[in-house]
Amino acid sequence: MTQTQRLREMLASGDIFVAPGCFDGLSARLIQQAGFRLAYASGGAISRGAGMPDLGLFTARECADRMEQICDAVDIPVIADADTGYGNALNARRAVRQFMRAGVAAIHLEDQTFPKKCGHYDDKSIVSTHEFTQKIKAVKDVSGDDLILIARSDGLAVEGFDATIDRCNAYAEAGADVIFFEAPQTVEQIEAVGRQIQTPKLINMFAGGKTPMVPLATLKTWGYQLVIVPSDLQRAAIAAMQRTLAVIAADGDSSALSDQLVTFKDREAIIGTDEWNDLNERFAE
């Protein structure tokens, strides 16, 4: 069974699944080892990991290369952030083929203009509904059933709630498998999205964003099936690195934080060094 087929089974189950956000192979492996059945490859986190803001600066090729590293590191489905498809319908088709070769189970495309912005930034702009439905059709034409297509709309901040609902339903009619209504700002809006869109739904939830936090059980009753938490792992890693660097700067080493660091042995277990060494011995002359 492919990872796309696994994800389709999960969507068909009617249950709700959380996909924490990863940005490299190590963070993806930690997600799997924590028991999650899905990982979300966050475009924003990947871009920030390269030292750049989430402003559409990362290219499709750079992102696809990182997706390949992430997919190689885990045995669970990976949902990939493909931004706008990095241009028009033809650019999106080419990007999707690259992402599929990397091994992702699903991608989400958004209806922002290119280059895009983080969904929780202000001053976004979006393309017409017709232009984006054509992009969806172009992507489905090249991916077929081998990839789950998640259509994301950033229309709320631009056109308002009702117009964005209309957009989302048009995207579903054009062939999107899952709908992602980005950045609802009230609990009432979250519930209304669940009620007014019948296609499977994804919601983005993280501390400090524009969307209020809602318990998983409630989201499930409102018809949501996927919850992504894009950048919390990276934000936690940044804070931990800053604390460690401050101690190193003050003391010359990190021994004062030794109880907060994974051991050398545990680090090697996480990345599977023994398994690689066993393979090396197995195939050695």
- Give me the active site residues, please: 40, 54, 81, 83, 108, 110, 118, 152, 182, 204
Nearest CA-CA partner of 86 in 109, 120, 102:
109
C-alpha span between 277 and 275 (Å, rounded): 5
Per DSSP, 120 falls in state: T
C-alpha span between 99 and 149 (Å, rounded): 12
Could you tell me the CA-to-CA distances from 242 to 237, 245, 246 in Å, in that order? 9, 5, 6
Please enumerate, as own/partner, the contacts of 124-130 that have beta carbons within 8 Å and a separation of 24 or more.
124/154, 124/157, 124/158, 125/158, 126/153, 126/154, 126/155, 126/158, 126/159, 129/166, 129/167, 129/170
Give residue 256's Cα distance to chain centre.
35
C-alpha span between 47 and 62 (Å, rounded): 9
Give residue 52's Cα distance to chain centre.
17
